[in-house]
Structure 1
Amino acid sequence: MNLAIFFEPLPEELFGQVTNPKTVGAYLAPFIHSFPDWRSAEVVLIGLPEYRGTVDASNLTYEGPNRIRKELYRLIKGTGQWLVMDLGNLLPGIHLEDTYLRLKEVVEMVVDSGKFPILLGGSHDLTYGQFLGYEHLSKSVNLTLIDSQLDVAIEDDALPEANHLQRILLHEPNYLLGFTHLAHQAYLTDASMLGVLEKLHFELFRIGQVRQQMQEMEPVLRQADLISFDVSAIRHQDAPGQLQANPFGLTGEEACQLCWYAGQNDQLSSIGFYGYRPELDHRALTATTLATMIWYTIEGFYQRQGTLDFHSNHFLKFSVGFHDNPNKMFFYKNRHTQKWWMQVDDLSGQRPPLIVPCSYQDYLTAADGEVPNRWILMQTRL
């Protein structure tokens, strides 16, 4: 399939000239005159100027992805080799559902080719199209959402942006192995829905938990196959270009920290940034915040360790016994990165054991004779 037919080129007056050879813009190959040879890239940027799934879409400017690009291109390139290409903006379909399917095809093709797509949205319901891009895989996937609330509205007239999570959770065929939600705010979230998701053994972290246990979010993000980041999770002071004028939420620094963790995740194969409303971003502060988050994601990508061989000399293996149980729990620690993994055995013996990301605290919990909650959650999914 020729991806070029789905994209429109970027305006030359904005992205055709590079004045500083040390900036990100000097290292990107943008789609201006000819579609780039994206198969020779490692990371690809994809703009999604689609807002029909949100409120007040008729009065919008569709320059959101380009505003983010403008600020990203100005930043100084990081330490990695940065084989990044910008494919331009995805052409919306005739109907919103057509855009979802078009995004599905693009994500599917790019991920299958071993490239890492970074999606610049667009309303948050485009997460559904991103998720559909994994339907063809012969495995289940882990999804992580970072948002101030749960988008699971059940009203018949609910906007797609307000109920796309429900569509994902109810999608058939079901290929969702795990779901994690970060940074929701209790006063914006239905407690009964939280209870339903917890009974399904999904992980949910309030904004206070994320802030107080930031390092514990690293293993949480390390198990994600795809991540969707809604700008509404960031406080209004750092990201005013959003519908919610919420004074609480993640700081820009905390958002960048999460993106740094996400980029380093060898398992992560796509990430989307959604909810940016440029008409509310008068001094491009939100665009700058998002551009910096993307910068940290790419920089983290170039810190990845590659294939994990837990039997190599790069890993230390720890065995933890329990005084009232003959079984043992095994942990692995990377000598270089100091990151931890945990082996989860299928108690029924029908499946091979899984080695999943964990934290040092999980190891200490096991060493104290208690089974880590992360082990219990993974056991329920086997």
Structure 2
Amino acid sequence: MDLKLFFDPISSDIQVDSLPSSAIAHSMYINQGQLPELDDRDIAIIGVQESRGANEENQKGISLSATEIRQSFYRLKKGSGNLKVVDLGNFRNGPELTDTYQRLQEVCGYLMENNILPIIIGGSHDVDLGQYQAYENQEKLITVLNIDNKLDLADPKSALPVDAHIHKIFKYDPNYLFNYYQLAYQSYLVEAKEAELIEKLYFEAVRLGVVKENIKELEPIVRDADMMSFDISSLQAHYCPGAVDSNVYGLTGEEACQLCWYAGLNDKLSSIGFYDYDVYKDTTDRKTAFVIGTMIWYFIEGFYNRKGDKNFRSNDYLVYEVSMGGEPSSIKFYKSKLSEKWWMEVPHPEETSGFLRSRMIPCNYSDYETALEGEVPNRWITTYSKFV
């Protein structure tokens, strides 16, 4: 694939050479006029300017968001490890909105085929359709994690794309969506029938209050995701006044960074996007851009601290089999000696090859304790229900 057809250099307003030598920008390969080579790269940043799926009043500010995010992110200090990160520049919009989705699908699919994780910055939230469609040719079922204060399940025939993109993901043909999680939705912004639909499909939506009660308990959900889509409207207006749908209530900046850290650590996760930042709504010192830049920093830092938790048949795991005395007769738990994280095994029809990646379900030690008490953990039940 000739990536030059899809990208323009970063904005000339960003003076990389003027940044301190310790800035993370100097440890990256950046398209400042010539597209860098992808050889031996781990992560590729894609700046998106597509905003036609949003309200007209937000479109201009969204289209400028990638540049402002870079301005903040580039100034941060390099973390640990030898970074192999490339910034491909600004993605060229298609003639129509759907053309942008298709182009992003092609580029993200190509990057993932070459074991390069795309980080999408900027654009309206419906752009994650292109991110999702990039998994179409991977011949496996995937899990999507969406962090948003709304469910975005409106009817595409009568709503803006930004309000209906999750609906389109659910209806997309071919269907390769195995599981869907949504974190930090706010009940007073969601119609009851939308929440009921999530439950009916055996998907999981977690209210903001539950997330804030104990964010560490939600780490297995993040660890289960192949794709993560982050709408910054899920953060409090105090931290992200430049979010398209900025509200008083939401995640704190620290909580958002912790979720990004978990996502970076997730060996399974292969793409992430940060959406719905309107530059014109931000403060003069670009507080929102700084928070998003820091979230990206934590994600990359987590990525370079991955433990390689993939091969469950290796000697890197302790296996515990709990007898249940009913159905199921027993449940196997796996604890990684490297990361000390837990998984449990859920049986499924072996001939259905698409489910092979989904039989090992991330869990907490508390799920193991639940099984020891003779109860089947909810995560096990929810997953098994998808097979029968």
Q: Which residue of 2 aligns with 1:371?
A: 376
The yes-or-no answer on 1:342 pairing with 2:344 is: yes
TM-score (norm 2): 0.94
SS at structure 1 position matched to 2:137: coil
Separation in structure 2 between the aligned mates of residue 58 and residue 365 of structure 1, nearest angstrom: 47
Counterpart for residue 273 of structure 1: 274
Q: Give the residue type in structure 2 aligned to 1:6.
A: F
* 1:15-72 deviation line (CA, Å, top 9, x unaligned): 4414322211111111012100023311110000111100025761432101001100
Residue identity in the other structure for 1:172: D
Deviations 1:104-159 (A, max 9, x none): 11111011110011000210000111111111111111111000011011263310
Could you tell me whether the CA contact under 8 Å between 2:371 and 2:377 is conserved in 1? yes
> Which runs of no fewer than 5 residues in structure 1 stay unpaired?
none
CA RMSD of aligned residues (A): 1.7
Bigger shift: residues 354-363 or 183-192: 354-363
Q: Secondary structure at the match of 1:221?
A: helix
Alignment of 1:124-139 (within 5 A): 124-139=125-140
Among the aligned pairs, what percent are the same residue? Answer: 41
The one-letter amino acid paired with 2:180 is F
1:21 equivalent in structure 2: 21
SS of corresponding position for 1:292: helix
Specify the alignment match of 1:8 in structure 2.
8
Partner Cα distance (1:153, 1:20) in 2: 46
**What SS does the corresponding residue of 2:51 show, helix, strand or coil?**
coil
Paired position in structure 2 for 1:301:
303
Q: C-alpha separation between the residues in 2 aligned to 1:377 and 1:345?
A: 12
Structure 2 spans left out of the alignment, 5+ residues: none
Which structure 2 residues correspond to residues 61-76 of structure 1 after superposition, within 5 A? 61=61, 62-76=63-77
**Which residue number in structure 2 is paired with residue 380 of structure 1?**
385
Q: Which amino acid aligns with 1:277?
A: D
Pairing 1:74-113 to 2, within 5 Å after superposition: 74-113=75-114
- The TM-score with structure 1 as length reference comes to 0.96
What per-residue deviation string (whole Å, max 9, x for no partner) do you get for residues 256-311 of structure 1? Answer: 00000001000000000000001111221000000000000000001111252323
In structure 1, distance between residues paired with 2:328 and 2:9? 63
Q: What is the letter of the counterpart of residue 60 of structure 2?
A: L
1:101-180 correspondence runs (5 A):
101-154=102-155, 156-180=157-181
Relative distance call for 1:156 and 1:324 in structure 2 (3 A) is closer
Q: Distance in 2 between matches of 1:239 and 1:12?
A: 25
Of residues 321-330 and 362-371 in structure 1, the stretch that sits farther from structure 2 once superposed is: 321-330
Greater alpha carbon shift after TM alignment, 295-304 vs 319-328:
319-328
Whether contact under 8 Å (1:18, 1:26) holds in the other structure is no
Letter aligned with residue 370 of structure 1: E
Cα separation, 2, equivalents of 1:269 and 1:39:
18
Separation (CA, whole Å) in 2 of partners of 1:300 and 1:275 = 23
Q: Name the CA shift for 1:2/1:373 in 2 (closer, same or farther; >3 Å).
A: same
Contact 2:307–2:338 under 8 Å retained in 1: no
Q: Which amino acid aligns with 2:46?
A: I
Name the SS for the 1:68 alignment partner: helix
Residue 136 of structure 1 aligns to a residue whose secondary structure is: helix
**Aligned AA for 2:335?**
K
| Whole-angstrom CA distance in 2 between matches of 1:193 and 1:256 | 28
1:18–1:25 CA contact under 8 A, matched in 2: no
1:211 partner amino acid: K
Which whole-Å CA distance do the structure 1 matches of 2:68 and 2:45 have between them? 13
